[in-house]
């Protein structure tokens, strides 16, 4: 079923040549869209499920020659590294769809559960994105009742696309086929050297992790350890007063006057690990004519930070000793103060999540216009390891009982037998940082583009991206706060 709607910003008059009009309508027809219904800014959107790898192969705009050249660079070091794992199966199928790779029957059988393949196709003859606005091409799995981790083919067919200064288009974590007959990037005002430059097109990761775990991107902190119990105070010997002095009522129990030691605290819990950053998916961008300069950002997602280790519990305080006693039967020495309990160790910090994996990005346009394209392909940063928890303090020493005074003495000169304070717990070990993963391999007319050296932070879905010439890619949230 095909939905028809009017784009938010239709262009008043066409700006395509006759050849470009024919090419746009040819793509619309092969995608099942009625070109006669695509006047002005009207959109046609359909959601087919593609039955086979061969049918998927019919969707890209690549020529046989482009497919052959792509195959020569497809299994570059970034992609070849994962040949032996499950992602390698996906890579080989993508090589068959977007390049000239053969289909191994074993791979086809392994990927059978993904078919029929969910696909969104959008056609619009003219689209105008105004300054400060963003056209998000992404599509999520809820249309088909799918989990977000399922891959979706996202096909966008545009006649003319005009981007005002500061206007952007982006896709988050879909397999992308973007065909634009004429792309007009209006020049921005000259920027100050310290001010961020803008991008026009961003190939971004899924706005969620796609690893096998569940839960939030960042690890949670470990629980605090429990405090040790306080030691009981010492108990003096039972006596009864008489005219001559205190009389013992029973035997003196050894150690009864001593305060008991404080209990040991428990260790803080370990922080949980951060999850793997979102994956950026394969993209084919075909531009028939480029007017102006185009900046493309491509990156996978930064790994989640590990959770902090929990604080160790505080050791229990030692109990106080009973005071010394003078009785008719003799002097009973004071009880010793109990020792403070040991503080609990801090929990270990959680490991930072690894950066997300990235797939190839192919950009095709007339050879004479390739120099108008600037590519900023960033590695995906690993999450920070969580800090270790602070060790708990040792318990305080119990006070020793005061010695019994000597007859006729004004004060006691003997030292009080206090206990020893408890030892503090050790601080927890911080978690390891997650691994940085390579930038998406980007090819302009099948020529590799050198990636950026530094990772970049991937923003949340409602953030505004910018590029800082000194620090790489940063983002500003909708509240105007700069992201990390």
Task: Give how far the C-alpha of residue 422 lies from the chain's centroid of Cα atoms, to the nearest Å.
Answer: 40
Q: Which residue has the tokens 């191994």?
A: 104
Residue 258 pLDDT? 92
Residue 208 pLDDT? 85
Longest CA–CA separation in the chain, Å:
125
Q: How far apart are CA 423 and CA 307, in angstroms?
A: 26
How many C-beta neighbours within 10 Å does residue 408 have?
A: 5
- Phi then psi for 426, rounded to 5 degrees? -75, 145
**What integer best gives the mean pLDDT of the chain?**
87
Comparing CA positions, the residue from 361, 374, 197, 378 lying closest to residue 301 is 378
pLDDT-wise least confident of 118-132, 135-149, 167-181, 213-227? 135-149
* pLDDT band with cut points at 50, 70 and 90 for residue 385: very high
- C-beta of residue 452 within 8 angstroms of C-beta of residue 376: yes
Residue 5 pLDDT? 58
Asked if residue 473 has pLDDT above 90, the reply is: no
- Residue 356 DSSP code: P
Q: Determine the Cα angle at 133 with ends 372 and 283, to 5°.
A: 50
* pLDDT band with cut points at 50, 70 and 90 for residue 84: confident
Mean pLDDT confidence for 438-462: 81
Comparing CA positions, the residue from 182, 91, 177 lying closest to residue 363 is 177
Residue 12 pLDDT? 41
Q: How far apart are CA 20 and CA 417, in angstroms?
A: 97
* pLDDT band with cut points at 50, 70 and 90 for residue 472: very low
Q: In this predicted model, what pLDDT tens digit does every residue of 57-67 receive, in sequence order?
A: 999 999 999 99
Rounded to two decimals, the pTM is: 0.82
Q: How far apart are CA 322 and CA 403, in angstroms?
A: 9
Q: In this predicted model, what pLDDT tens digit does every residue of 322-364 receive, in sequence order?
A: 998 888 888 889 999 999 999 999 999 999 999 999 999 999 9
More confident residue, 15 or 55: 55
Asked if residue 149 has pLDDT above 80, the reply is: no
Quote the percentage of the chain above a pLDDT of 70. Answer: 87
Mean pLDDT confidence for 125-137: 93
- CB burial class (10 A; 0-12, 13-18, 19+) of residue 212? exposed
* pLDDT band with cut points at 50, 70 and 90 for residue 478: very low
Q: How far apart are CA 47 and CA 3, in angstroms?
A: 9
Mean pLDDT confidence for 268-286: 95
How many C-beta neighbours within 10 Å does residue 251 have?
A: 9
- Phi then psi for 28, rounded to 5 degrees? -60, -45
Residue 430 pLDDT? 97
Q: Which residue has the tokens 């993963």?
A: 437
How many C-beta neighbours within 10 Å does residue 269 have?
A: 21
* pLDDT band with cut points at 50, 70 and 90 for residue 279: very high
Q: How far apart are CA 304 and CA 257, in angstroms?
A: 55
Q: In this predicted model, what pLDDT tens digit does every residue of 152-209 receive, in sequence order?
A: 999 999 999 999 998 999 999 999 999 999 999 988 766 555 444 568 999 999 888 8
Residue 481 pLDDT? 34
Q: In this predicted model, what pLDDT tens digit does every residue of 293-306 receive, in sequence order?
A: 999 999 999 999 99
* pLDDT band with cut points at 50, 70 and 90 for residue 249: confident
- C-beta of residue 335 within 8 angstroms of C-beta of residue 321: yes
Residue 463 pLDDT? 46
* pLDDT band with cut points at 50, 70 and 90 for residue 468: very low
Comparing CA positions, the residue from 392, 378, 239, 242 lying closest to residue 322 is 239
CA atoms within 13 A on the CB side of 317: 9
Residue 289 pLDDT? 96
* pLDDT band with cut points at 50, 70 and 90 for residue 455: confident
**What are the domain boundaries of the chain?**
2-216+278-304+356-384+439-476
* pLDDT band with cut points at 50, 70 and 90 for residue 4: low
Q: Which residue has the tokens 């930038």?
A: 439
Q: In this predicted model, what pLDDT tens digit does every residue of 394-449 receive, in sequence order?
A: 999 999 988 887 776 656 667 888 899 999 999 999 999 999 999 999 999 999 99
Q: How far apart are CA 8 and CA 200, in angstroms?
A: 18
Comparing CA positions, the residue from 69, 148, 60, 53 lying closest to residue 102 is 53
Residue 457 pLDDT? 56
- C-beta of residue 287 within 8 angstroms of C-beta of residue 178: no
Q: In this predicted model, what pLDDT tens digit does every residue of 15-43 receive, in sequence order?
A: 799 999 999 999 999 999 999 899 878 89
How many C-beta neighbours within 10 Å does residue 127 have?
A: 23
Mean pLDDT confidence for 376-383: 93
Using the Cα atoms of residue 54, residue 57, residue 63 and residue 66 in order, give the sign of their dihedral: negative
Q: How far apart are CA 276 and CA 39, in angstroms?
A: 44
Q: Which residue has the tokens 């590990």?
A: 306
Q: How far apart are CA 179 and CA 360, in angstroms?
A: 17
- CB burial class (10 A; 0-12, 13-18, 19+) of residue 225? buried
- Phi then psi for 346, rounded to 5 degrees? -70, 150
């Amino acid at each position: 079923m095909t939905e028809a709607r009017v784009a938010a910003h239709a262009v008043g008059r066409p700006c395509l040549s006759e050849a470009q009009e024919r090419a746009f309508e040819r793509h619309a027809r092969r995608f099942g869209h009625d070109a006669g219904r695509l006047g002005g800014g009207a959109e046609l959107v359909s959601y087919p499920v593609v039955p086979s790898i061969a049918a998927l192969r019919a969707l890209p705009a690549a020529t046989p020659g482009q497919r052959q050249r792509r195959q020569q660079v497809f299994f570059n070091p970034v992609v070849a590294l994962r040949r032996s794992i499950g992602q390698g199966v996906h890579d080989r199928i993508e090589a068959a769809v977007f390049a000239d790779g053969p289909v191994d029957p074993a791979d086809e059988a392994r990927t059978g559960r993904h078919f029929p393949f969910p696909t969104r196709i959008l056609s619009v003859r003219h689209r105008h994105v105004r300054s400060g606005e963003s056209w998000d091409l992404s599509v999520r799995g809820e249309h088909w009742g799918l989990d977000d981790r399922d891959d979706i083919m996202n096909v966008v067919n545009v006649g003319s696309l005009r981007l005002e200064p500061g206007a952007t288009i982006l896709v988050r974590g879909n397999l992308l086929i973007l065909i634009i007959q004429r792309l007009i990037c209006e020049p921005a005002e000259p920027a100050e050297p310290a001010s961020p430059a803008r991008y026009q097109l961003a190939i971004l990761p899924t706005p969620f992790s796609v690893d096998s775990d569940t839960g939030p991107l960042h690890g949670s902190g470990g629980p605090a350890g429990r405090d040790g119990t306080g030691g009981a105070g010492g108990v003096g010997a039972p006596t009864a007063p008489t005219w001559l002095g205190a009389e013992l009522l029973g035997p003196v129990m050894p150690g009864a006057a001593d305060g008991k030691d404080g209990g040991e605290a428990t260790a803080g819990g370990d922080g949980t690990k951060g999850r793997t950053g979102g994956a950026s998916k394969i993209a084919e961008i075909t531009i028939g004519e480029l007017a102006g300069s185009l900046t493309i950002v491509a990156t996978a997602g930064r790994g989640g930070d590990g959770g902090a280790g929990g604080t160790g519990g505080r050791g229990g305080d030692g109990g106080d000793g009973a005071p010394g006693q003078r009785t008719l039967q003799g002097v009973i020495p004071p009880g010793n103060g109990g020792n403070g309990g040991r503080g609990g160790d801090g929990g270990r910090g959680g490991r930072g999540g690894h950066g997300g994996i990235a797939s190839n990005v192919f950009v095709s346009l007339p050879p004479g216009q390739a120099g108008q394209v600037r590519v900023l392909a960033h590695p995906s940063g690993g999450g920070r390891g969580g800090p270790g928890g602070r060790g708990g303090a040792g318990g305080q020493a119990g006070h020793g009982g005061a010695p019994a005074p000597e007859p006729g003495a004004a004060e006691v000169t003997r030292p009080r037998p206090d206990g020893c304070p408890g030892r503090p717990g050790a601080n927890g070990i911080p978690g390891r940082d997650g691994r940085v993963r390579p930038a998406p391999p980007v090819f302009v007319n099948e020529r590799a583009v050198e990636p950026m050296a530094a990772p970049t932070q991937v923003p949340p879905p409602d953030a505004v991206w910018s590029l800082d010439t000194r620090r790489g890619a940063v983002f500003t949230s909708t509240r105007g706060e700069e992201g990390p």
